[in-house]
Structure 1
């Protein structure tokens, strides 16, 4: 969190009562629609995904996250409405959960945490815009190449099944793209 906005000891003491450490196992659901998302999770260890399930029960990954990254269903979190995304542990780990009530209290009483929240919201917006543009304007091969360039670590952290879903393609299509690129 200090990387987002450096904080002082009194800023940490203000947020501490609203934090809880949550362990999770591989495959464990941390959020399932129609629950309301009441947390922002900072991942200490392990990895987590957020995904959507359609009417045919096909899962599509929206986010793949691991150590030192945040994850939430932000729309559900801020609007206090049922989640549209599921959040699930991919690899056993631990996360620090900040609850909505606590964050809202900090927004009212702390300039630092208000600014921190704004910065995080801006990052979520920019990341969402980039992700939307990639899915709309890049073909699967271009998305794969961009992922390899921007996040080469994903190929060590996540299964090809999860990567294919994140790219919005089938595992078979991912395999074809990888084979074509390896021949060139």
Structure 2
């Protein structure tokens, strides 16, 4: 992990980064590793240093529905479960070999309570999560499949390169065949 790059991504100086990393644990996972099984409380958040993860659920027909696709520089976890202390219905799995920072809730809460800087930092991260959720809802409600794909391509071209098409199509709410047609028309 390149700490200077991480500090820049997070907007932290070297001392603040050291504090932040002191409450985290670096972990490495192979492709297709399950990070969170679901049906439990998600009492941690992760930050992707390098790699990609997918958050999904399994519907009544046994189909996997991709809820979130995240890559380098993204925070992830079941944020609702983390906040409410309620069981999660989501599964979180790597789609590539992935290095993450894991932040246990109790350690992160201690850091946040220690200094107004971390309270503000936490609020900023929460605001970002809210805005991304809002954009996701708007994409699904107001945009065509082609527009959703273009929005994803603009927002995070890395997802298109790192995550298999079947997961991207599920995330966009379309079939893999439809995504293939959209990609062909775009080239």
TM-score by length of 1: 0.89
Give the drift of 1:170. 1.1
Pairing 1:70-81 to 2, within 5 Å after superposition: 70-81=75-86
Pairing partner for 2:144 from 139, 143, 156 = 139
Deviations 1:7-33 (A, max 9, x none): 451x34544442111211111111121
Pairing partner for 1:66 from 68, 71, 81 = 71
The residue that corresponds to 1:5 in the other structure is: 11
Match status 1:87 vs 2:92: yes
Give the drift of 1:95. 0.6
The residue that corresponds to 1:151 in the other structure is: 156
Pairing partner for 1:54 from 33, 55, 59 = 59
Give the drift of 1:96. 0.7
Give the drift of 1:181. 4.1
Q: Secondary structure in 1 aligned to 2:42? A: coil
Structure 2: gaps (5+ residues) = 1-5
Deviations 1:19-71 (A, max 9, x none): 11121111111112112111111112221111122111211212212222211
- Calculate the aligned-residue CA RMSD, in Å: 1.8
Q: How many residues align?
A: 181
Please say if residues 28 and 98 of structure 2, whose CA atoms lie closer than 8 Å, have aligned partners that are also in contact.
yes
The residue that corresponds to 2:113 in the other structure is: 108
Q: Distance in 2 between matches of 1:13 and 1:148?
A: 33
Distance change in 2, residues 1:159/1:46 (3 Å): same
